[in-house]
Structure 1
Amino acid sequence: MPASPTTRLRRLCMALPEAAEVETWEQPTFRVRGRIFAMLHLGEHGLAVWFKAPPGSQELLVEAAPDRFFRPPYLGPKGWVALRLAGAVDWAEAEALVRRSYSLIAPKRLAAQAVGPT
C-alpha cells in the first residue's frame, strides 16, 4: 500500500539537514533552526503543502496550474504557494518545490547540503 501524502511529505521534509517537525495551529510545520520552510494544511482547498517560493514564482505556478496550486491565506501575500496533495501528485515536483523553499529559509551552509536528491 502506498504511503499517505502526509507520510510522504514528512519523509521528504525530515530528510533535509536539521529539519524539525513542530505542530503549530494544529497542523504539522517543518522548520530549520526554528523557521518554517513547509507546512501541511488541511483546509478549504483540501490537503496541501504550503512552501516559500522565489519572487514571481507564485503567480507563474498559480496561473499555469490553478487546479494544483493556489495562493494560501496569510502567507500568500509573502510569496508562499500551496500545492494540493489530492489525486495524482507529482512527488518529484513536490520535492523540488520543498527543497527550493528550504534553500530560501535555511542558512547558506545547510542549504548547500540540501542540493540534489536525498
Structure 2
Amino acid sequence: MSQLSYSRTDAEAALDRVRRACLRLPEISERPSHGGPAFFLNGKKCIAMFLDNHHDDGRLAIWCAAPEGVQAEMIETEPDRFFYPPYVGHRGWLGVHLLDCDQQELDAIVTDAFRAVAPKKLLLLLDQA
C-alpha cells in the first residue's frame, strides 16, 4: 500500500471540483464505473473518471478523453502534472493530477474531454451557452 500525499478532505474536495467541472456540461451525468465516480455523455460515452488511489498508485486524479495529440504533448511538457493512464491511455486519454490543477484549468480540461467525444449538435449547444 502506498503512502498517500493527500487527505480524505483533499479527496472529497477534489471530487466536488470534478463534479462541478463535469456536471455543468450538457447531457452529462454521473454514475459509478470501475469502482469510482465517472461522468458520461447521454449515459453512454464516458468523458472522465475520478480516481482516488487507484490500485494503490497514490494518485488523486482523473482520467479523461483528450483531443488527438494532447496526451503526448501534456505528458512531455509537464510530466509531474499529467500522465499516461492505464487501460485507457492507448485511446489517447490523459491522466491529470488533481492536486496540481485549479478549478479553471480543470474546467478547461473537462470541456476538452467533452469536445473529444460529443456529437456536433452538443458542441453547438455548448458553444451557444
Residue 50 of structure 2 is matched in structure 1 by: 40
Which position in structure 1 is the counterpart of 2:32? 23
4+ residue segments displaced more than 4 Å: none
User: Which range moves more in the overlay, 57-66 or 39-48?
Assistant: 39-48
Corresponding residue number in structure 2 for 1:85: 98
Structure 1 gaps of 5+ residues are: none
TM-score in terms of structure 2 length: 0.81
1:60-80 CA-partner distances (Å, limit 9, x unpaired):
100111110000001001100
Q: RMSD value over aligned CA atoms?
A: 1.9
Q: State, as a whole percentage, how many aligned pairs show the same letter.
A: 35
Structure having the higher Rg: 2
Per-residue CA distance 1:21-48 (angstroms, 9 max, x = gap): 0101111110012110111112215110
TM-score of the pair, normalised by structure 1: 0.88
Say how many residue pairs are matched. Answer: 115
Give distance in 2, aligned partners of 1:65 and 1:45. Answer: 18
